[in-house]
Amino acid sequence: MARYDRTLIGLALAFALLMAANFLMPEWVRFIGLQTLARGAVALGLLVLWRTGLISFGHALYFGWGAYTAALLTRAGITDAFVLTVAATLSAGLLALLLGFLLRRYRAIFFALLNMAFSMILYGALVKTEALGSTDGFGVASPSYFGFAPEGEAVTTTLFAFSLTLTFVVVVGVHLYLRSTLGGLTLAIRENEIRVEYLGYSAERAIHIKYVISGLLAGFGGAVMAMAIGQVDPDSMALWTVSGEFVFITVLSGTGSVAATYVGALVFELIRTYAFEYAPHVWQLILGGSLLAIIMFLPEGLWSLRQRLARAKG
Amino acid sequence: MTRSSFAAQLLVAGALALAGTGPAAAKEQVVLAVPTFLTGAGAPAFGVPARNGVEVVVQAINDGTLPAPYDSKGFAGVPVQLEVYDESGGNTKQVTEFRNKVQKQNVDLFVGFTSSGTCQAVTPVAEELKALTIFAVCGTQRVFEELDTDPKYVFRTMSHATSDQVAAALYVKAKFPGVKGYTGLNQNYAWGQDSWRDFDLAMQVIAPEAKASEKLQWPKIFAGQYGAEVSALLLSEEELVHTSFWGGDLEAFIFQASPRGLFEKKKVLFTVAGTAVYRLGKKMPQGVVLGSRGPYGIFAAEKDDPLNKWFRQAYVDRFGTNPTGPSYQYAQGVLAAKFGYDKAAAANGGQFPSTEQVIAAMEGQKIPSFTTTVNLALNKGHQAITDHAYGVVKWDAEAGEPKMVDVVSFAAECVNPPDGVNSVDWIKGGMKGAKC
Amino acid sequence: MAAILEVDNLQKSFDGVVAAKDIHVSVEADEIIGIIGANGAGKTTFINMVTGYLAPSAGSIRFQGRDIRGLPPRRITQLGICRSFQVSQVFMSETVFDNLLTAFAIAEVGGLALLRPLFSAARADRVGTHLERYQIADYGDVIAANLPQGVRKLLDIAMATVRRPTLLLLDEPTSGISTEEKFELMDIIMAALKQDRTTVLFIEHDMEIVERYVGRVLAFYQGEIICDAPTAEAMRDPRVLEFVLGQEYHAGHRPSGARNA
Amino acid sequence: MQQLVVILVDGLVFSSYLFMVAVGLTIIFGVMKVLNVTHGSLYAFGAYLAAYLVGVYYEAGLPDAGGFLMLLLAPVIVGVVLGLILERGILRHLYLRDEHTIVLATFAAFLMLEDVIILIWGVDPYFAYQPVSLLGSSEIGGLAFDNYSLSLVFVAATVGAVCWYGLRRTKWGKLLMAVIYDREISQAMGINVTAVYIVTFVLGSILAALGGAYVAPTISVSPGIGVEVIVLAFAVVVTGGMGSIGGAMIGSLVVGIARAAAVHLLPEVELFVIYAIMAAVLAFRPEGLFAPAKARRI
């Protein structure tokens, strides 16, 4: 019981600190922060699935869906960040609900790859659609906040504050879900669906619920990313490699904690930024190399690192 | 890595960023960032020739060995530090990189960008961050016509893609007056879609008697296999084939179409094949029409201008191959930047100018370049119009290299809309005010 | 007294192979029924059909007067028919306590209630009493995977009964248990079930167990019920003697005897 | 009529290409239950080495026919060397981990190899057109087709036949099938699963590289050719049924002919054909056209 409370307190503290830091950090750091929040949200969704032993190699589907939903709304003249985010999140959740009826029947690698296949279909559709700028994508008007439209550096500061606040709500929500009975079912389902079924609950329904949650989170991440970048395009929103990055962040973070996901997302951003800055010709080599190193030497992800340190301290 | 060490990293990096944002006084060097494709499919066709072109020019600028009017050292006397970086990896990454370059690595200006999508993604950021950004290549006219209608920090030093297609249509009209029908083979992504749309529009105005095919080929970009497309083109009634293929797809298409006699059966019009013509050499099918997005690359081979002669020589000496379109286009962007800095410094009493002064010095100028004048005539003096040329490839046996014959050159004013007119509307409206 | 389970003319065949043929059974409340028969006689198939794991090819299954044929296992479970398994189906990597905690959680809540925390003091108490009832309280903190065979069996049955089922189907509760343990195990189970007056149907190979705990026997042979009678009577039934006990006394005793040696 | 013939020929050629590209992926998936993302890199390496060797070969002015041997030599070298490096160096350390971790590892390796290719061969494209020119062209349905592309059909058919025979009729194939059917049981039965995995991965790698090598003469071998292939191969494998060679064949034929038909009859949908077929299959038979329905625990 106490354990859970500590997580909540930790989250609240982190929230307060970051909110304060928002006004001190240089803009490029804040921008990395924004992307961390966006990708972290998707990874959090994958974490929820992973707790039942399922992983999706296609969540760029919901990420891109959310991003494009937000972008299309700004095209239609709706620029309120809150409306954009909620709409993107819900529409992605709805899509997940529909596909879930099919996907909930699959497990293990088949589940992962069927997701990937669906994300490719969205990618193909986007590239094909000239109205949506095909591979160029199109611009996203900078968001307003209940009528207030920031200028200059305030653009990112406000967006970060906004995203951070919603992220806090989302993370707490997911945390509460995970400690709930429904969330607790995850391990049971991972271990023995037959028993769960014979205790009177549908394992498939539990999985379906998780899938929808992961879809909602990915849509949320997509909206944040779209608003941060100011442009949506298939290659960086819906391509299969994007899904791969999300899985990487999830594995990098480990299933240990909801907070770890965001640390993982941040590490990912930093690796990429520095690889790109110091090795412009071989940045993929560095990126891939670090992925590989982490997979091989940190099987439990960063969280295990934290625990190891704790043990070391004694 | 642990949280604390992240914090450390962030603080350090943050400190760096803050430290950089000092006054521009006593400038020791101008940091010139050049984004272009160093990896991926864009690298051979665009990225590497472009980088090479820039390296040649920047070195000469720092040594002060360029011919007039660029014979002074550096930008406004300050040596240029070149930062070439990879343009591949998608817009999200490019926008992030752009911000990092400006805020973390204190880049003074950008010259480059090949992908239309990336240009569109970067434009608002450049304006937001007040970073001087000179687009050297990217084609789309949307940048200034839709996205950034009141540009301040963003320039483009070559005509946008519409002029490629207008010139192409004019060439068809001039050289194949009798053409009854034309079809298209274009990659199914923004560049291909826009290229066909503009060409088709221009043809409807310039050669209304010719009819566009009902069955246009839209292969996926990087598909690499075009057997079926070649068959379909061989079977089509239209005698003219328009294609905006580039890079590996272009070369693959040529390898797959040549043995099947497509280039003998049909008149094929390549709008951007200039990039491949030297590399393919003898394998380049004879008698095809091609353009290089302007009087660049092979079209500049015989252009007898001191600046151009110097560039070709320096480039060949250094890399052993001839400069292609992108080499010229990127180098041209650098020239424009030097022009702006030098002029602004002069106006500033020899003092190193602020970015805003450079912009003021560039807006609306006619900047001399290798084979054309970069006339910043459109969109409040930020969008250049440049000359254009199309011709037919012929293998010159004794010279041992390809040549352009039947070249038709087009004045910038002939293939570009007048200021204030949206290019697509301009074509639809019958290209009023074109001075040919 | 009214029958709670009525099975009429139940049929099942797996592409050609007949696993159940016109089975008629009527079970009354509070009965303790033993199902005997050689391996492959159709015993488990019968349980699987009653609990919705397999869909019958034909026939009807009525529980407390309502037709439950074709319902998914979870619905049937919710209606009050629970089962245990030949191979214990527990959450191997969790402790005995957590196994039951999860079991109670699923059994107790439906719909939005699922969003309440998994752990609650009240629920913990219920787990405690349940552990006591099956006399496995000492094992509360042991990971299921490390449990002795017999205890895991008990845990499996304990989990099957968290819903206080009206009808409980046990699939070979004593399989893999040595003879001397068997009786102890069955005593615990039966005692626990009596408290809830649960009607029990269980598959058993060991006739001593059957004779000791069961009032009525269903003997299966090649998918058919060849005998449905009070235990003593069934034990004398010629067909049972020929088709079931003939092997059963071997199947039932030799292995356990071997274990003793 | 003529059009029909041409569609069939184009379709067959493209199907063969798809099969060559997909077969390696599906074999590795079938046995190891791993989506091998490095498949694209292996394809690219095959293409590069083949193009390089062919170039060197004809530079040396050796007899024409020998150039084709290079197209077979290259994939063997790539498959054995790179395949072993990947399997021994990376994958084998991960077999005890979740399947998706292994997929992720191949994804990481793929990223690295993209740059390694550039480090080895630079960004300038390699051309190996000689084999195509040598074989000349012939006329079918009034159209010229280059014999090299036509020969692709026979190569693909041979590869398919050999794989089929190898799996159904040889001892190794039976072991493989056993492992495909149930890893644990076969281990218990004393099958050396490790050895099976090594052989499978090297085999799959050789096939991937063969795809690249055989296509090399018809394309411009340049950076990024591997990325597209992963997507294409994956689409085919999903359509046909993951892990089934028959599935890969059916998938290739369906996709290939459908695409050719689209190009000739309704070109504007070409890009979407592959995805559309995949979507349809997923909607109605998610386990693919060919693969047996996967047994589920409930």
Average pLDDT over all residues of chain B = 90
* Interchain touch C–B (≥3 Cβ pairs closer than 8 Å): no
CA C229 – CA C239 distance, rounded (Å): 12
CB A9 within 8 A of CB A136: no
Are residue C160 and residue C173 in the same domain, yes or no? no
Q: Is the model's pLDDT at A302 over the cut of 80?
A: no
Flag if A136 and B120 touch (Cβ within 8 Å).
yes
- Closest partner residue to B92 (CB to CB) among A229, A276, A281 is A229
In a domain, D296, yes or no: no
Amino acid (one-letter) located at A87: A
Flag if D234 and A120 touch (Cβ within 8 Å).
yes
Specify the DSSP class assigned to residue C113. Answer: G
**Residue B23: band (very low, low, confident or very high) from pLDDT cuts 50, 70, 90:** very low
Chains that touch D (3 or more CB pairs under 8 A): A, B
Q: Which positions in chain D touch B264 (Cβ < 8 Å)?
A: none
In a domain, D291, yes or no: no
D157 backbone dihedrals φ, ψ, rounded to 5°: -60, -45
Q: Considering only residues 178 to 237 of chain A, which have any Cβ-Cβ distance to chain D shorter than 8 Å?
A: 193-194, 197, 203-204
Which residues lie below 8 Å from residue A216, measured CB to CB, with a gap of 6+?
A45, A89, A90, A92, A93, A96
- Closest partner residue to C73 (CB to CB) among A181, A184, A198 is A198
- Helix, strand, coil percentages (3-state) for chain B, rounded to 5, are 45, 20, 35
**Residue C232: band (very low, low, confident or very high) from pLDDT cuts 50, 70, 90:** confident
Q: How far is A288 from chain D (nearest CA, A)?
A: 4
Amino acid (one-letter) located at D85: I
Structure-token pair, residue B145: 């016509």
Q: How far is B18 from chain D (nearest CA, A)?
A: 33
The label of the residue with tokens 């040595």 reads C178
Are residue C1 and residue C122 in the same domain, yes or no? no
CA neighbours closer than 13 Å in the CB half-sphere of residue C157 = 30
Q: Considering only residues 396 to 435 of chain B, which have any Cβ-Cβ distance to chain D shorter than 8 Å?
A: none
Q: Is the model's pLDDT at A260 over the cut of 80?
A: yes
Q: How much is the pLDDT for A313?
A: 64
Q: How much is the pLDDT for C1?
A: 52
Are residue C5 and residue C53 in the same domain, yes or no? yes
Kindly report the CA angle at B306 between B302 and B307, in degrees rounded to 5? 95
CATH number for position C57: 3.40.50.300
Are residue C249 and residue C236 in the same domain, yes or no? yes
Among A54, A285, A297, A298, the strongest candidate for a mutation testing the D interface, having the largest count of D CBs within 10 A, is A285
The DSSP code sequence of A34-87 is: HHHHHHHHHHHHHHHHHTTT---S-THHHHHHHHHHHHHHHHTT--BHHHHHHH
Q: Which positions in chain A touch B221 (Cβ < 8 Å)?
A: 135
Q: Is the model's pLDDT at C114 over the cut of 80?
A: no
ipTM score of complex? 0.83
For A91-101, what is the mean pLDDT?
95
What CATH homologous superfamily does B162-292+387-428 map to?
A: Response regulator (3.40.50.2300)
Q: What is the pLDDT of residues B97-147, one digit of tens each?
A: 999 999 888 899 999 999 988 999 999 999 999 999 999 998 888 889 888
Q: How far is C222 from chain A (nearest CA, A)?
A: 27
Specify the DSSP class assigned to residue B225. Answer: -
Q: How much is the pLDDT for A291?
A: 87
**Residue B22: band (very low, low, confident or very high) from pLDDT cuts 50, 70, 90:** very low
Number of domain units in chain D: 1
Q: Which positions in chain A touch D234 (Cβ < 8 Å)?
A: 113, 116-117, 120
Which residues lie below 8 Å from residue A95, measured CB to CB, with a gap of 6+?
A61, A62, A65, A215
Q: How much is the pLDDT for B25?
A: 52
Say yes or no: A109 contacts chain D, CB-CB below 8 A.
yes
In a domain, C194, yes or no: no
Say yes or no: B408 contacts chain A, CB-CB below 8 A.
no
Which residues lie below 8 Å from residue A166, measured CB to CB, with a gap of 6+?
A85, A220
Q: How much is the pLDDT for C188?
A: 87
For B14-28, what is the mean pLDDT?
52
Q: How much is the pLDDT for A149?
A: 85
In a domain, C245, yes or no: yes
CB B59 within 8 A of CB B136: no
**Total beta-carbon pairs less than 8 A apart between chain A and chain B:** 123
**Residue C260: band (very low, low, confident or very high) from pLDDT cuts 50, 70, 90:** very low
Neighbours of A102 (CB within 10 A): 13
Chains that touch B (3 or more CB pairs under 8 A): A, D
Number of domain units in chain C: 2
Flag if D235 and A296 touch (Cβ within 8 Å).
no
Say yes or no: B144 contacts chain A, CB-CB below 8 A.
no
Q: How far is A291 from chain D (nearest CA, A)?
A: 6
- Closest partner residue to B6 (CB to CB) among A136, A270, A277 is A270
Structure-token pair, residue B32: 């010139």
According to CATH, the topology of domain B8-160+303-385 is Rossmann fold (3.40.50)
Say yes or no: A127 contacts chain B, CB-CB below 8 A.
yes
Are residue C34 and residue C153 in the same domain, yes or no? no
Are residue C62 and residue C176 in the same domain, yes or no? yes
Average pLDDT over all residues of chain C = 81
Are residue C114 and residue C225 in the same domain, yes or no? no
Chains that touch C (3 or more CB pairs under 8 A): A
Q: Which positions in chain B touch D40 (Cβ < 8 Å)?
A: none
Q: Is the model's pLDDT at A306 over the cut of 80?
A: no
Flag if B147 and A152 touch (Cβ within 8 Å).
no
Amino acid (one-letter) located at B29: Q
Q: How much is the pLDDT for C254?
A: 40
Q: Is the model's pLDDT at B15 over the cut of 70?
A: no
Nearest of B290, B220, B293 to residue B252 by alpha carbon: B220
CB B168 within 8 A of CB B175: no
CA neighbours closer than 13 Å in the CB half-sphere of residue C215 = 9
Instruction: Select from C117, C137, C164 the last residue of a domain.
Output: C164
Amino acid (one-letter) located at B187: Q
CA B12 – CA B21 distance, rounded (Å): 15
CB A139 within 8 A of CB A231: yes
Distance in angstroms between the alpha carbons of the first and the last residue of chain B? 64
Are residue C7 and residue C134 in the same domain, yes or no? no
Q: How much is the pLDDT for B317?
A: 96
Flag if A197 and C72 touch (Cβ within 8 Å).
yes
Using only the alpha carbons of chain A, give its radius of gyration. 19
* Interchain touch D–A (≥3 Cβ pairs closer than 8 Å): yes
Flag if B252 and D125 touch (Cβ within 8 Å).
no
Flag if D99 and A120 touch (Cβ within 8 Å).
no
Neighbours of C239 (CB within 10 A): 13
Q: Considering only residues 52 to 71 of chain A, which have any Cβ-Cβ distance to chain D shorter than 8 Å?
A: 53, 55, 57
In a domain, D206, yes or no: yes
β partners of residue A113: none
Helix (H) or strand (E) holding B110: strand B109-112
Structure-token pair, residue A128: 């094909």
Instruction: For chain B, give every residue range classified as CATH 3.40.50.2300.
Output: 8-160+303-385, 162-292+387-428
Q: How much is the pLDDT for B132?
A: 97
Nearest of A186, A178, A214, A166 to residue A43 by alpha carbon: A214
CA B155 – CA B143 distance, rounded (Å): 10
Helix axes A203-229, A81-103, angle to 10 degrees: 150
For A237, the closest chain B residue by CA position comes to: B92
Q: Which positions in chain B touch D217 (Cβ < 8 Å)?
A: 255
Q: How much is the pLDDT for C157?
A: 87
Among D135, D137, D220, the strongest candidate for a mutation testing the B interface, having the largest count of B CBs within 10 A, is D220
Flag if B120 and A138 touch (Cβ within 8 Å).
yes
CA A252 – CA A305 distance, rounded (Å): 11
Q: What is the pLDDT of residues A148-197, one digit of tens each?
A: 888 877 888 999 999 999 999 999 999 888 888 777 777 788 878 888 88
In a domain, D182, yes or no: yes
Q: Is the model's pLDDT at A219 over the cut of 90?
A: yes
Q: Is the model's pLDDT at A307 over the cut of 80?
A: no
Chains that touch A (3 or more CB pairs under 8 A): B, C, D
Using only the alpha carbons of chain D, give its radius of gyration. 19
The label of the residue with tokens 């602020």 reads B354
Identify which has the larger pLDDT, B404 or A109.
B404
Quote the percentage of chain C above a pLDDT of 90: 0
Say yes or no: A113 contacts chain D, CB-CB below 8 A.
yes
In a domain, D290, yes or no: no
Flag if B259 and D137 touch (Cβ within 8 Å).
yes
Q: How much is the pLDDT for B19?
A: 44
- Closest partner residue to A192 (CB to CB) among C72, C91, C163 is C91
Amino acid (one-letter) located at B173: K
Q: How far is A234 from chain B (nearest CA, A)?
A: 9
Q: How much is the pLDDT for A272?
A: 87
Q: Structural domain of residue C141, as residue ranges? A: 92-164
The DSSP code sequence of chain D is: -HHHHHHHHHHHHHHHHHHHHHHHHHHHHHHH----TTHHHHHHHHHHHHHHHHHHHHHTT--TTHHHHHHHHHHHHHHHHHHHHHHHHTGGGGTTS-HHHHHHHHHHHHHHHHHHHHHHH-SS-B---HHHHHH-EEEETTEEEEHHHHHHHHHHHHHHHHHHHHHHHSHHHHHHHHHHH-HHHHHHTT--HHHHHHHHHHHHHHHHHHHHHHHGGGS-B-TTHHHHHHHHHHHHHHHH-TT-HHHHHHHHHHHHHHHHHHHHH-GGGHHHHHHHHHHHHHHH-TT-SSSPPPP---
Q: Structural domain of residue D214, as residue ranges? A: 2-284
Among B96, B107, B193, the strongest candidate for a mutation testing the A interface, having the largest count of A CBs within 10 A, is B96
Kindly report the CA angle at D187 between D184 and D189, in degrees rounded to 5? 110
Say yes or no: B212 contacts chain A, CB-CB below 8 A.
no
Q: How far is A83 from chain B (nearest CA, A)?
A: 22
Q: How much is the pLDDT for C111?
A: 61
Q: What is the pLDDT of residues D150-174, one digit of tens each?
A: 999 999 999 999 988 888 888 888 8
Burial (CB count <10 Å: 0-12, 13-18, 19+), residue C117: middle
Are residue C105 and residue C34 in the same domain, yes or no? no
Q: Is the model's pLDDT at C45 over the cut of 90?
A: no
CA C158 – CA A195 distance, rounded (Å): 12
Q: Considering only residues 186 to 245 of chain B, which have any Cβ-Cβ distance to chain D shorter than 8 Å?
A: 188, 215-220, 222-225, 227-229, 231-232, 234-235
Among B31, B83, B84, B91, the strongest candidate for a mutation testing the A interface, having the largest count of A CBs within 10 A, is B91
Are residue C171 and residue C259 in the same domain, yes or no? yes
Flag if B252 and D227 touch (Cβ within 8 Å).
no
Q: How far is D124 from chain B (nearest CA, A)?
A: 5
In a domain, C86, yes or no: no
Q: How far is B45 from chain D (nearest CA, A)?
A: 8
CA D12 – CA D22 distance, rounded (Å): 15
Chunked in runs of 10, what are the mean pLDDT values of chain D (298 residues)? 90 94 90 89 96 93 88 96 95 85 91 93 90 89 91 93 88 82 78 88 95 94 89 87 86 93 88 81 75 39
Average pLDDT over all residues of chain A = 88
Are residue C73 and residue C114 in the same domain, yes or no? no
